[in-house]
A and B are shown apart, each in its own frame.
Chain A
Amino acid sequence: MEEESDTRKINNSFLRDHNYATEADIISTVEFNSSGELLATGDKGGRVVVFQREQESKSQPQRRGEYNVYSTFQSHEPEFDYLKSLEIEEKINKIKWLPQQNAAYFLLSTNDKTVKLWKISERDKRPEGYNLKDDDGRIRDPSTITSLRVPVLQPMDLMVEATARRVFSNAHTYHINSISVNSDLQTYISTDDLRVNLWNLEITDRSFNIVDIKPANMEELTEVITSAEFHPQQCHTFAYSSSKGSIRLCDMREAALCDRHCKYFEEPEDPSTRSFFSEIISSISDVKFSHNGRYLMTRDYLTVKVWDLQMENKPLETYQVHDYLRGKLCSLYENDCIFDKFECVWNGSDSVIMTGSYNNFFRMFDRNTKRDVTLEASRENSKPRAILKPRKVCVGGKRRKDEISVDSLDFSKKILHTTWHPHENIIAVAATNNLYIFQDKVN
């Protein structure tokens, strides 16, 4: 791996002074916007924190733009569905940015049932000099007004406001697992376990169901949808992954209901590796199109696979993320870790892919050189601005110094959510309730 990184940690927790991690602070999603200027995180408590990159200053060129908190707001609250006696979690499952079209920023955030469109805008001026009221808001007695004045805009401290502009609700019976904005910038899809719905960003009381895999008899259910994404350039194409390890590519021009796929990507199972948990580990947890739109990347429990859209019968590349866990599936099943849903991400040029693992490790695979590296996001093991040291897991035999054995891995420290800056080598990694941002080293 040719990249070396600075490290910088930003603690996004409101309870900054506290050492314990409350569950509400656990980061559940991270996403750069399309310019990379903003970074949004969502947490289990329903809050969204947006970071903004500082402008690079000429006086300190070695101190490249760092990310600081820009805006914080409560996106979703816990709700109760009285009809079904179900509590709806406020945890933010996904955030997706809309490309910027004016001075304000827009993002979509979703919990299990409701998608919201948020507008984040700055206010740095305010009008002063009203005639009928004082600057502090009190109404002036009209009889005391002797002259008229024109209010003027005066600069004020920058205030960043977040307002909910649209609320898209009551369209999903099952839990929403993903949202994806279309390249047409007018529509987006929201996906739950069994259905994909198409929305217009302007219309909240109506959505179109475009995929429905719910069987007539629920007893015959064999697979669920785990993620869906629009093609980055073709506004009529989207892909969705299933719990059976397959991906379907659909074209919305074919029919209103896209139950029939155009392409079906699946790798036949290797019968020699069959185990009790074969179905679980083949379930796809994330699917991402490459930026150039030619490839698809999928993440299942042990591997990351890159698929060529032109080849359906097997992936182009398969990368083992943590194959040493294959012998531990039973204990991972017992402690529920086997159900962890790891995400995967492309870099801007589609040459490197990255995904998380346990013990706060995350892995990068260079598709060209076929080299890979394991890095750790941890305060103890790296100082700010220090170069990250590659880590290695010892799978058996003699453990070298600095290697960590499989049994010493901390499975409570998992990196499920990562994101890569769209143009530069800056990555954001969420480790439980901490956010780590790593940048390329400046020459």
Chain B
Amino acid sequence: MISTMECGADAQNLISISLMKIHNSRTQRGGIKLHKNLLVSYVLRNARQVYIKEKYAEIYRMQQYEEVMTVCNEIQELDPLDLDAEDDEEHARTACCGEGASPCGSVCHRGAAQPAAHARTASAVFGCASLEEDTREPDPSYYRSCCMEASPAPHCDQLPASGSAHCNKTTVLDLDTHVVTTVENGYLHQDCCCDAPPLGQGAQTPAKKRKVEPGCYVSDVEEISDFTAARKRAKREDCSYHSLDYTDTSNISNLISIFGSGFSGLLSRQADLEQICSKQVLASLGAWTRAIVAF
């Protein structure tokens, strides 16, 4: 378990710094230093683990809430004239939030004040989930992350198998109409290399991934408010990302195109963009790690 409190390091910040180091090392005198870049890739990996763990914890909390909401809405539909429905909702919410989510739980929609958005719940397996968020709103936002088990390697190996067993059903909650629909669909399962030795195994997981259909997205509502106009551009890049085969080449070329547009340019813009790029990079970090050392 990595202690993040030690130096107050923000995982995202570390990821940005590490990527900058790798980028700079390409132009340093004397050629790329293998040892240093290997160590930097370890920091990247650790930061990614922490980042994803935090994200997963957040999703987990939101899943519980969403489940409560679903239940409450169903209750409401059954008895819309129930004057105590709201109280029950609250009660149910708090009750459900305290419980564990089912294996195929749903993403929680937190905060009623958020603008209407499509929320798609991705099936969440212990250690295996992915989110994509997009709103069909004027400001579509994308967010993709790889949620992986942060425990040692042995679990890692089992994840692809267990993931596909559980994650074959997804639920969509329309926050406008509160209609819940279940869709049989695939999910995007990222590289599952969480420890150094099976780094190479990450290359095998792409074969097990299934393409995500463009119509299904999850909105992390909290973040919609954070990332607005900036996400428009991210959407374009992400769309093309989806339609490609999930190969190492596409990961690396995508990252290179990000850097090609000017890393310093990225940094000079607002923090939002930085975070987006970090997230995109996070999504394909396994490939990037491989790209670093494979020179």
Complex: A194 Cα to B295 Cα, angstroms: 13
Contact A276 B43 (CB under 8 A): yes
User: Which of A48-56, A66-74, A216-224 contacts its partner?
Assistant: A216-224
A193 at the interface (CB under 8 A from B): yes
A327 at the interface (CB under 8 A from B): yes
CB distance from B90 to the nearest CB of A (A): 40
Contact A87 B196 (CB under 8 A): no
A392 at the interface (CB under 8 A from B): no
B7 at the interface (CB under 8 A from A): yes
B39 at the interface (CB under 8 A from A): yes
Complex: A56 Cα to B285 Cα, angstroms: 63
B196: chain A residues at CB < 8 Å are 222
Count contacts between A and B, CB distance < 8 Å: 103
Q: What 0/1 pattern do residues 279 to 301 of A give for CB contact below 8 A with B?
A: 11001000000000000000000
CB distance from A43 to the nearest CB of B (A): 15
B11: chain A residues at CB < 8 Å are 276
B203: chain A residues at CB < 8 Å are 219
Contact-size category for B: 35 or more
B179 at the interface (CB under 8 A from A): no
A275 at the interface (CB under 8 A from B): yes
The chain B residue with its CB closest to the CB of A86 is B31
Q: Given A218-B293, A243-B39 in contact, is the A175-B33 Cβ separation under 8 Å?
A: yes
- Which A203-250 residues have C-beta < 8 A from chain B? 217-224, 226, 243
Main secondary structure of the interface of B (DSSP, over half): helix
Contact B9 A224 (CB under 8 A): no
Contact-size category for A: 35 or more
Contact A276 B34 (CB under 8 A): no
- Which B176-232 residues have C-beta < 8 A from chain A? 196-197, 199-200, 203
Contact B14 A283 (CB under 8 A): no
CB distance from A136 to the nearest CB of B (A): 45
**Chain A interface (Cβ < 8 Å from any Cβ of B):** 84, 86-89, 91, 112, 174-175, 177, 193-194, 217-224, 226, 243, 271, 273-280, 283, 326-331, 333-334, 336, 339
In the complex, the 4 A-B pairs of residues with the closest C-beta atoms, listed nearest first: A330-B7, A219-B290, A279-B42, A220-B200
For the complex with contacts A276-B47, A280-B42, 4 further pairs of A-B residues with Cβ separation under 8 Å are: A86-B30, A86-B31, A217-B200, A224-B34
A-B contacts, 16 listed (Cβ < 8 Å):
A86-B31, A89-B29, A91-B30, A177-B35, A193-B34, A193-B35, A194-B34, A219-B293, A220-B200, A224-B38, A276-B9, A276-B14, A279-B43, A330-B6, A333-B17, A336-B21
